[in-house]
Structures are given as structure tokens and as C-alpha cells.
């Protein structure tokens, strides 16, 4: 019986295992191998050892793109998690209009990245874009939004704040699974909403928040490619030259595929390190909440 169940489970998981192997594991292995070669897609492949990594070390644009990517992650991830948590708590009670609000909060997430970027390219247009118009109406230089380093980075972060559907749905499900008896007890005891959130809701949701934060760090480092390519082209003054865009330029515009593979390897390792540190810090903070 156990063997039959095991075989059935394996068959059900086989499509995912095969697709993951073909689309993720094999490309990752090939990228790692190419990182140590002079592969350019045209000439004969030669093993160059750590030469590509030495070039990365002395490449100022690589460090600029890395700094820009970390800036987006450091600013965008806390904002995305906070907004998603606020929406999850706001839309947890069942009342009129909540279903439509939940669907609306998730809708931007299902829009294809290229369509989403083109939509924001129109909205941020300095001549007829509605966002630029509203900013100008407030007395701010809306027509200069994409022409300054801060404005361009702000625009990329602001765009990402609407694509929080997956985070919001997971937090909403986690919040709805919390025991109602505990909240009834807090109501009977007369505790404030802030105390209930700080001492009850947040500690119970912290494992989910840790997971979502780690996932969102990886997402934010990779999701900047399409908006930076479509909207800002890496400018102004390399302010939105993010690591995925710089890897694309080296690999497919300059045909330095070996160097691009080395950059991809570095990005993978740094992303893993960043997630590890963040998870450890959040777990430590969870311990403080439990005190």
C-alpha cells in the first residue's frame, strides 16, 4: 500500500520535477560552467579559470549595478511586506465589498511584466502621463521624475508596490488561520488593537513573514530587469542600471556570455547570502517578540 501511494505521489510530482530540472537545474549548472570560460557564442570555448571573476572585481559598472539592486531590495521589500500585511489585516473580516477588494489587490500581480512596464511608461510620461501630472499639480517637478536618479529609482520602487498579490494572499490565509479564541479573549480582557497586533498577531505571523521576506528579496533582485529595460534603459546616469540588466547587456549586446555567466553566479551567491542574513535577523526579532 505504501509503495503504491509512493508511486502515485511520484507520478503526480513528475511534471514539476522534470520542468524544474530542464528549466532551472540544468541552466544553473551550464551557467556555472560557462562562468569559467570565454564563451561568446561565436568562437571556440576556452577555459579561463577565474579570469571572468577578476574582471568583475575591477568593473565599476558591475558594482554600480549591484549597489542599485541592493538599494531597490532594501527599500522595496520592507514597503511591500508592510503594505501586504496591512491589506491582509484590513481585508480579513467578512463584510460587504471585501471580496471585490481582495480581487482588486491581487489583480496587478497577474499582469505580464512587459505589459505592466508599458502601462507605467505611459503613466510616468512627462508630457501626458497621469502620475507626472498629479505630481506637477502638487507643485513638484513631475516632468523630471524619470530624469533624476532619485526619481527614477523611486518610480521603480513605486511600481513594485502594486505587485504584492502573492504576498498579500499568503498573509491573508495565514491571518485567517489564527485561532479566533485568542482574539475573543483579547476582546474580553479589553486589550487595545495595537497591543493585540504587537503581542498576538505579529508574533504568530512572523514565521510567514520570514519566509515571504526571503522570497521577496530574491524576487526584487530579479524583477528590476523589465522596468529598467523598458522604462529607463538603465539611466539616468546609471541610476537604474540593475544587475539583471547589466548581465543582459554583457551577454546579449556585447556577446560576453562567459562574463555574464560569472556575474549571474555572483548574483546567485549574493542573493543566497542576503536571504540567509535576513532570515537570521528576522528570527532573532521573532525571539524578541516572544519575550
Domains of the chain with CATH codes: 60-290 (1.10.3720.10)
Given a cut of 50, is residue 144 above it in pLDDT? yes
Higher pLDDT, 1 or 75: 75
Which of the listed ranges 8-17, 32-41, 89-98, 182-191 does the model predict with the highest average pLDDT? 32-41
The pLDDT assigned to 4 comes to 67
Specify the pLDDT at position 284.
63
CB half-sphere exposure, 60, CA atoms < 13 A: 1
The grid coordinates of residue 45 equal: 570555448
pTM here? 0.86
CA distances from 275 to 130, 168, 172, 249, 279 (A): 36, 20, 23, 26, 6
Q: What is the mean pLDDT of the chain?
A: 87
What's the pLDDT score for residue 283? Answer: 66
Q: Could you give the percent of the chain with pLDDT greater than 70?
A: 94
Cβ proximity of 213 and 278 under 8 Å: yes
**pLDDT above 90 (res 226):** yes
The residue among 72, 260, 35, 99 whose CA lies nearest residue 159 is 72
Q: What is the mean pLDDT of residues 178-196?
A: 84
Give the closest residue to 78 by CA, choosing from 272, 206, 213: 213
Average pLDDT over residues 263-280: 86
pLDDT of residue 291: 45
The pLDDT, as a whole number, for residue 5 is: 67
What average pLDDT does range 259-280 have in this prediction? 87
Predicted confidence band of residue 102 (pLDDT cuts 50, 70, 90): confident
Give the pLDDT score at 43.
85
Cell output for 190: 479589553
pLDDT of residue 160: 93
pLDDT value, residue 286 = 54
- Between CA 38 and CA 258 the distance in angstroms is 5
Report the first-to-last Cα separation within the chain, whole angstroms: 46
Sign of CA dihedral 64, 67, 73, 75: negative
- Please enumerate, as own/partner, the contacts of 113-121 that have beta carbons within 8 Å and a separation of 24 or more: 113/223, 113/226, 113/227, 114/226, 114/230, 116/159, 116/163, 116/226, 117/159, 117/226, 117/227, 117/229, 117/230, 117/231, 118/230, 120/155, 120/159, 120/227, 120/231, 121/230, 121/231
Average pLDDT over residues 38-60: 91
Residues with Cβ within 8 Å of residue 235, at least 6 apart in sequence: 152, 241
Q: CA-CA distance, 163 to 116, in Å (whole number)?
A: 10
Residue 42 pLDDT greater than 50, yes or no: yes
Query: How many residues comprise the chain?
Result: 291
- With contact defined as beta carbons under 8 Å apart, do 143 and 124 qualify? no
Residues contacting 252, CB < 8 A, separation 6+: 260
Amino acid at each position: 500500500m505504501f509503495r503504491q501511494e509512493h508511486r502515485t505521489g511520484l507520478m503526480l510530482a513528475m511534471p514539476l520535477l522534470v520542468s524544474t530540472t530542464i528549466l532551472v537545474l540544468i541552466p544553473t549548472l551550464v551557467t556555472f560552467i560557462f562562468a569559467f570560460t570565454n564563451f561568446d557564442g561565436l568562437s571556440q570555448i576556452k577555459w579561463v579559470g577565474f579570469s571572468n571573476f577578476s574582471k568583475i572585481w575591477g568593473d565599476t559598472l558591475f558594482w554600480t549595478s549591484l549597489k542599485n539592486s541592493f538599494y531597490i531590495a532594501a527599500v522595496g521589500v520592507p514597503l511591500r511586506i508592510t503594505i501586504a500585511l496591512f491589506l491582509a489585516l484590513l481585508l480579513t473580516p467578512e463584510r460587504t465589498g471585501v471580496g471585490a477588494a481582495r480581487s482588486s489587490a491581487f489583480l496587478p500581480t497577474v499582469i505580464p511584466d512587459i505589459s505592466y512596464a508599458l502601462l507605467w511608461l505611459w503613466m510616468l510620461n512627462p508630457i501626458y502621463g497621469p502620475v507626472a501630472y498629479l505630481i506637477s499639480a502638487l507643485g513638484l517637478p513631475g516632468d523630471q521624475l524619470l530624469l533624476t536618479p532619485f526619481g527614477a529609482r523611486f518610480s521603480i520602487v513605486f511600481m513594485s508596490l502594486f505587485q504584492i498579490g502573492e504576498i498579500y494572499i499568503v498573509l491573508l490565509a495565514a491571518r485567517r488561520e489564527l485561532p479566533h479564541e485568542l482574539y475573543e479573549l483579547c476582546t474580553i480582557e479589553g486589550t487595545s488593537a495595537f497591543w493585540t497586533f504587537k503581542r498576538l498577531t505579529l508574533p504568530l505571523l512572523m514565521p510567514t513573514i520570514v519566509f515571504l521576506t526571503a522570497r521577496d528579496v530574491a524576487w526584487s533582485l530579479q524583477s528590476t530587469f523589465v522596468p529598467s529595460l523598458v522604462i529607463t534603459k538603465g539611466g539616468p546616469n546609471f541610476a537604474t542600471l540593475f544587475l539583471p540588466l547589466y548581465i543582459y547587456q554583457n551577454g546579449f549586446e556585447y556577446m560576453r556570455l562567459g562574463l555574464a555567466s560569472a556575474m549571474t553566479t555572483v548574483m546567485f551567491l549574493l542573493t543566497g547570502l542576503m536571504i540567509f542574513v535576513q532570515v537570521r535577523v528576522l528570527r532573532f526579532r521573532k525571539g524578541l517578540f516572544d519575550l
